[in-house]
């Protein structure tokens, strides 16, 4: 099981980083291999809605999504971490997800691959990440991806989440859970 971890925060060493790192440790403890990338390190252009991919099953843009498409293809499961920005995902995360449009005609790139989502935010409200989780719930259902878990935690200063023992344990367990998950879908 190869778990591909995507961190959509531009703040390295921040709360998304702390929690996804913890989930990575859990996934490794559960027997998985992990690869983690920072989306901010990749030059991802917006989808132009040219629809070329609907004919060719391939995005015609020559940018850093090329290596990411390759990694998506070979991944068995995903953990996506994004800070909550204005009750939604970060811009880096949205650019990346929009480019999944090129995978619509390549069902096996995503279908059956378990997904977990981690979304720290500054407010203490339990509803702050609702739109983020709702978006991924719909995406997972649309692409036949089992959504194995969602986690939010409060954090505004960099690494605040690291002081939250319960959140750290929850992230670790989420990683273990995704390592133990299997699709159950014939791909």
Which residues would be at the binding site for ligand FMN (CB under 6 A)?
Answer: 9, 11, 14-17, 83-87, 120-123, 128, 155-156, 158
Q: At its nearest, how many Å lie between ligand FMN and the CB of residue 105? A: 33
Query: Could you tell me the smallest distance in angstroms from the CB atom of residue 10 to ligand FMN?
Result: 7
> Based on CB atoms, which residue is closest to ligand FMN, 21 or 76?
21
Q: Quick check: 154 and 124 in contact, CB under 8 A? A: yes
Using the minimum distance from each CB to ligand FMN, give the nearer residue, 103 or 118.
118
* Shorter beta-carbon distance to ligand FMN: residue 4 or 38: 38
Least distance in Å: CB of 163 to ligand FMN?
A: 12
Q: Which is nearer to ligand FMN, 7 or 181 (CB)?
A: 7
Neighbour tally for 94: CB within 10 Å: 19
Which residue in the shown chain puts its C-beta closest to ligand FMN? 14
Q: Find, among 14, 156, 25, the residue nearest to 79 by Cα.
A: 25
Q: Between 120 and 175, whose beta carbon lies closer to ligand FMN? A: 120
Say whether 21 sits in a helix, a strand or coil. Answer: helix
Quick one: residue 145, left, alpha or beta (phi over 0 = left, psi -120 to 50 = alpha)?
beta
Q: Which of 19, 36, 2, 4 is nearest to 171 (CA)?
A: 19
Three-state secondary-structure class, residue 95: helix
- Minimum distance from CB of 37 to ligand FMN (Å)? 14
Q: Least distance to ligand FMN from the beta carbon of 131, Å?
A: 9
Torsion angle of C-alpha atoms 170, 172, 176, 182, degrees rounded to 10: 60
Cα distances (angstroms) measured from residue 59 to each of 66, 69, 86? 8, 9, 29
């Amino acid at each position: 099981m190869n778990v591909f971890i995507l961190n959509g925060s531009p703040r390295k060493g921040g709360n998304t980083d702390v929690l996804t790192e913890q989930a990575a440790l859990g996934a490794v403890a559960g027997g998985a291999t992990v690869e983690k990338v920072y989306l901010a390190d990749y030059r991802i252009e917006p989808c132009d809605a040219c629809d070329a991919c609907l004919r060719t099953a391939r995005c015609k843009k020559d940018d850093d999504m090329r290596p990411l498409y390759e990694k998506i293809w070979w991944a068995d499961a995903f953990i996506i971490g994004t800070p909550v920005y204005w009750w939604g995902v970060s811009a880096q995360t949205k650019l990346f997800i929009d480019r999944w449009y090129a995978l619509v005609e390549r069902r096996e790139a995503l279908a059956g691959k378990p997904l977990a989502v981690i979304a720290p935010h500054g407010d203490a409200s339990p509803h702050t990440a609702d739109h983020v989780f709702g978006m991924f719930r719909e995406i997972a259902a649309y692409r036949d991806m089992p959504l194995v878990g969602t986690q939010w935690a409060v954090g505004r200063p960099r690494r605040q989440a690291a002081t939250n023992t319960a959140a750290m344990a929850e992230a670790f367990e989420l990683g273990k859970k995704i390592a133990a998950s299997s699709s159950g879908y014939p791909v």
